[in-house]
Amino acid sequence: MQDVRPDVWSAELEEALVRIGHRFGRVDLRRQVRAYVHGLLGPVGRKNSWQLAEYVGHRSPAALQPCSPAALQNLLNRARWNADEVRDDLQEYVSEKLGVPDGVLIVDDTGFLKKGTVSAGVQRQYSGTAGRTENCQIGVFAAYSSQRGRALVDRELYLPKAWTSDRERCRAAKIPDNREFATKGDLAKTMIQRALASPLPIAWVTADSAYGQEWRLRRMLEEAGVGYVLAVPKSQSVPALGRIDLVIAQAPDEAWERHSCGDGAKGPRVYDWAAAKLPANIVFDPDPPTHHRWVLARRSLSDPGEIAYYLAYAPVGTEVPELARIAGSRWAIEECFQAAKNECGLDEYEVRRCPGWYRHITLVMLAHAFLAAMSATATVARGAAETVPVPSRPSLWQKSGGSWQFTVPHRHPAGKPIKR
């Protein structure tokens, strides 16, 4: 960001702050949110209320206390403003600054390590961030990615059943009475629906296997006419074909093509890809179909035993290089997490109640979106993989019209193949 002139930086930040200013009914609140966002973007060691207050010059009346976090703590905990309304403004901002017709929405979760038992949603649970079970909160996020940049655009705090079944505990943490248990997949679907209703131009959705394996999420996207490339576990069942790892293992050598899934820090990220179209669903699909469903796999060049699996739903005419690009864009959200934590203090809050969490996270998302709008950096991604067994049954892979497809035996109602 050193190549951005200070006047351009200041004007862009002012635009972002003015955009949300009407959400704060009082002048003092607008000043507090302005100070908070400036602090999140500033060279502050740990971006909690105390250090942010010191950075922005909030002085305490007491001579022995050079700074006071009271105003910023009030902004997060007691002041009257709606974080969801600010989120809506943020999505409009990201749409204007980063939006393109083929934009990708990415869903993933991240953990926030915490001590104690009173922070909303905290418990010992698996955190992908830590790679182990820790005492933490889990936030489910949506990010928007395009060739112009990427930014976080929505968030939900995951509340385990141990919380939602204890209404007194929820009330103490200021969790709304109407908030009931929702799986991470449920939270993802809610955010996807909100994003599709927002100004964000979204052509694709992608996510890791924790979300991709949920058929209700896939069906929701198909009904909305939105394309997806979703990672799935190797045990994922493909209708009429069986386990996806066994299906991919039948791919002939010539079905594997070498494609880049985007540029990384060291240049193009190249893998071998195998993809084949699935037969149309005669119950749900129009005739002729507007989209095709695909099975997709990505194989490491250095270790061919490392394979990642995907299910895809793409407009007619989409080719394998585009599917590979969408699959690779999933890692843009990991970069968003890293940048938002390192540069804007995403995980450095010291609030315990539910409204404070949403308010801090939303203002961090705004600060990060501002940086994304200023830099418009390219997506960098990495991949993980699964191993693949070798089946013994005949291959169902057939090439037709320049692309691979599956041949599925016709079956009578008892489930036995029809002989021809």
Tell me the three state secondary structure of residue 339. helix
Percent of the chain residues topping a pLDDT of 70:
87
| Mean pLDDT of all residues in 304-308 | 96
- DSSP per residue, 290-327: SEEEEEEEEE-SS-TT-EEEEEEEEETT--HHHHHHHH
- pLDDT (0 to 100) of residue 285: 78
The answer to whether residue 59 scores a pLDDT higher than 70 is no
Higher pLDDT, 125 or 408: 125
Q: Give the pLDDT band of residue 388 (cuts 50, 70, 90).
A: very low
Do strands 103-113 and 202-207 pair parallel, antiparallel, or not at all (unpaired)?
Answer: parallel
Q: Give the pLDDT band of residue 177 (cuts 50, 70, 90).
A: very high
Indicate the burial class of 261 (C-beta count within 10 angstroms; 0-12, 13-18, 19 or more).
Answer: buried
What DSSP state is assigned to residue 278?
P
Instruction: For residues 368 and 358, give the distance between their C-alpha atoms in angstroms, rounded to a whole number.
Output: 15
Closest CA to 247 of 257, 237, 262: 237
The residue type of 280 is A
Q: Which of 290-294, 305-309, 348-352, 405-409 has the lowest mean pLDDT?
A: 405-409
The per-residue pLDDT for range 98-148, each reduced to its tens digit, is 999 999 999 999 999 999 999 999 999 998 878 899 999 999 999 999 999
| Mean pLDDT of all residues in 201-208 | 98
The number of C-alpha atoms within 13 Å of 246 and in the hemisphere containing its C-beta is 14
Torsion on CA atoms 90, 96, 101, 107, rounded to nearest 10 = -20
Q: List CB contacts of 40: < 8 A, sequence separation 6 or more.
A: 47, 52, 344, 345, 363, 364, 367
Closest CA to 364 of 379, 349, 381, 384: 349
Mean pLDDT, the chain, rounded, equals 88
Task: Specify which residues 267 forms β-bridges with.
Answer: 264
* H or E, element range at 112: strand 103-113
What sections of 42-125 are H helices per DSSP? 49-56, 70-77, 83-98
Instruction: For residues 215 and 270, give the distance between their C-alpha atoms in angstroms, rounded to a whole number.
Output: 29
Q: Give the pLDDT band of residue 415 (cuts 50, 70, 90).
A: very low
* H or E, element range at 6: helix 6-21
- pLDDT (0 to 100) of residue 418: 45
Instruction: For residues 242 and 24, give the distance between their C-alpha atoms in angstroms, rounded to a whole number.
Output: 55
372-402 residues labelled b (16+ CB within 10 A) or e (exposed): bbbeeeebbbebebbebeeeeeeebbeeeee
Closest CA to 191 of 145, 243, 155: 155
Instruction: For residues 92 and 99, give the distance between their C-alpha atoms in angstroms, rounded to a whole number.
Output: 9
- DSSP per residue, 130-188: TTEEEEEEEEEEEEEEETTEEEEEEEEE---HHHHT-HHHHHHTT--TT-----HHHHH
What DSSP state is assigned to residue 120?
T
Q: Give the pLDDT band of residue 383 (cuts 50, 70, 90).
A: very low
Q: Give the pLDDT band of residue 65 (cuts 50, 70, 90).
A: low
- Taking a C-beta distance cutoff of 8 angstroms, is the pair 107, 141 a contact? yes
Instruction: For residues 65 and 150, give the distance between their C-alpha atoms in angstroms, rounded to a whole number.
Output: 40
Higher pLDDT, 405 or 289: 289
| Mean pLDDT of all residues in 231-247 | 95
| Mean pLDDT of all residues in 278-295 | 85
Instruction: For residues 245 and 24, give the distance between their C-alpha atoms in angstroms, rounded to a whole number.
Output: 53
Tell me the three state secondary structure of residue 60. coil
Q: Give the pLDDT band of residue 268 (cuts 50, 70, 90).
A: confident
Instruction: For residues 353 and 73, give the distance between their C-alpha atoms in angstroms, rounded to a whole number.
Output: 12
Instruction: For residues 261 and 310, give the distance between their C-alpha atoms in angstroms, rounded to a whole number.
Output: 14
The residue type of 153 is V
- Cα 244 to the center of its chain, rounded Å: 24
The answer to whether residue 251 scores a pLDDT higher than 80 is yes
pTM for the whole thing? 0.87
